[in-house]
């Protein structure tokens, strides 16, 4: 595996490989890689000739400077994991390399980006679209791989690709969990042992809401999850919404959609965690 820090070097290497007819896959990440990322990389390696994994903590998608400063960074360990997974390139640019000038582009995909994370993290998805579109332009992959844990992000990236008619296939990959059920996240590295136990309760409550939902209304199911999380002293609910999985709009009745998804964001101590579940 080759570690590349500049756009020029990466494009030179990719140009030579594409000239040989090689198909290129991209896995965009912010580093602090874990088994969830590894599953994306392994799938990309299996389905493409060349796998590029970007490692870049993108400042434009953080609306909290403290969150940006505390985001875990572990380039050396990340590269070891990527090499073990069979990646071809680790692309680890500086902020100056990615943003030689401020990115003033505006991406807006209502109603997908105005609810849930879009409501509580204004500007977040604009930053996501800025960096993802830059990476697509730099790498020009045939396929790009995203985890379904970031459920809303995946929907918005798909919409961006559709509206801009970008020639890339977006591949969503299943969420990966710890044995406790806790959704794997780079942010988990910031949890203490006690907080990790509290955080595992999030998925346990979501899974318990599945059978509950079969006999109860949407509103009752929402209340079940909200009260379950409120009963764990170490957790603080930001939101729990039951939405149509395609439009991301809240539903009032199970018959409103054939694809109901519960999306939750919870603070465990100072760490903000997201998760989702299909009903």
Q: Which residues are catalytic?
A: 37
Q: Which of 172, 158, 153 is nearest to 39 (CA)?
A: 172
Output the CA–CA distances (angstroms, integers) from residue 180 to 6, 32, 195, 229, in the order listed.
39, 20, 13, 16
What residues pair up with 173 in beta bridges, in sequence order?
147
Residue whose structure tokens are 């079940």: 224
Segment holding 262, helix H or strand E: strand 260-268
Please state, in angstroms and rounded to a whole number, the distance separating the CA atoms of residues 242 and 252: 8
Please state, in angstroms and rounded to a whole number, the distance separating the CA atoms of residues 255 and 155: 22
Q: What angle do CA 195, 198, 203 make, to 5 degrees?
A: 130
Please state, in angstroms and rounded to a whole number, the distance separating the CA atoms of residues 128 and 131: 5
Q: What share of the chain is helix, strand, coil (3-state, %, to 5)?
A: 45, 20, 35
Please state, in angstroms and rounded to a whole number, the distance separating the CA atoms of residues 170 and 144: 5
What residues pair up with 77 in beta bridges, in sequence order?
none
Tokens coding 209:
């809401």
């Amino acid at each position: 595996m080759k570690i590349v820090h500049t756009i020029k070097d990466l494009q030179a290497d990719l140009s030579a490989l594409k000239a040989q007819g090689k198909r290129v896959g991209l896995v965009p990440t912010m580093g602090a890689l874990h088994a969830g990322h590894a599953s994306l990389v392994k799938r990309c390696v299996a389905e493409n000739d060349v796998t590029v994994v970007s490692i870049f903590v993108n400042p434009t998608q953080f609306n909290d400077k403290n969150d940006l400063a505390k985001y875990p960074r572990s380039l050396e360990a990340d590269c070891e994991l990527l090499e073990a997974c069979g990646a071809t390139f680790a692309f680890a640019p500086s902020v100056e390399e990615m943003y030689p000038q401020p990115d003033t582009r505006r991406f807006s995909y209502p109603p997908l980006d105005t609810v849930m994370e879009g409501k509580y993290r204004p500007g977040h998805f604009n930053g996501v679209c800025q960096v993802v579109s830059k990476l697509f332009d730099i790498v020009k992959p045939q396929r790009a791989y995203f985890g379904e844990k970031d459920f809303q992000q995946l929907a918005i990236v798909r919409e961006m690709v559709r509206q801009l008619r970008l020639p890339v296939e977006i591949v969503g990959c299943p969420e990966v969990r710890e044995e406790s059920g806790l959704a794997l996240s780079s942010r988990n590295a910031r949890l203490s042992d006690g907080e990790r136990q509290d955080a595992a309760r999030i998925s346990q409550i979501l899974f318990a809401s599945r059978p509950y939902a079969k006999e109860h209304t949407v509103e009752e199911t929402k209340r079940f999850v909200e009260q379950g999380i409120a009963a764990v002293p170490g957790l603080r609910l930001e939101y729990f919404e039951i939405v149509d999985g395609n439009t991301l709009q809240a539903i009032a009745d199970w018959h409103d959609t054939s694809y109901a998804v519960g999306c939750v964001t919870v603070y465990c101590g100072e760490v903000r965690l997201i998760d989702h579940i299909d009903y």
